[in-house]
Amino acid sequence: MEPSNDCSLDRLIEALLFVADEPANVADLAHALETDPESVQQAIERLIARSGERGVCVARVGPRVQLVTIREAAPLIERFLGIDRSTKLSPAAMETIAIIAYRQPITRAQVDAIRGVNSDGVIRTLLAKNLVEIQGHLEQAGRPALLGTTFECLQYFGLGSLDDLPPMPELDEPAE
């Protein structure tokens, strides 16, 4: 069912994202719409560009996209749905999730090396809250898990994509 013009492709993609119960892969959208992934990518870019005038926007992590509400609506949505977001992340969890967000995919050992302490408990908490996920395993002894952020993480921090993260400050190299 090839859409007749770009506008209808945009609207069809928005409709599919609206009914999807989880992030959708661009290739799956293209298959469902019987079109090529490049056309879907272009339509998603148009939807993202128009999101400033809407109450919903498209969030993207790699090849996966999801329709989400705008950041400014979060407190109202929480009140409307009776959601209690009073539980805050600990400083250790914030530090760990920042490391994972900027360095993903990253192993627990690499997180530990950056933080200088064992991060097992914090990572378990972030996994349980579905803020980070295992995105694969390294092809080496022990096959350590590679961690990355989730769509829930983007929603928790009110981000549309990882590109919305503030730039990481340049660190001075230690003098020899």
Per-position DSSP letters for 75-134, written without gaps between them: HHHHHHHT----PPPPHHHHHHHHHHHHH-SB-HHHHHHHHTS--HHHHHHHHHTTSEEE
φ and ψ at residue 41, rounded to 5 degrees: -60, -45
Q: How does pLDDT run across 132-141, given as a tens digit for each residue? A: 999 999 988 8
According to DSSP, residue 20 is labeled -
Q: Is the pLDDT of residue 167 over 90?
A: no
> Which residues make Cβ contacts (< 8 Å) with residue 174, sequence separation at least 6?
none
Domains of the chain: 6-73 (1.10.10.10), 91-164 (1.10.10.10)
pLDDT score at 4: 46
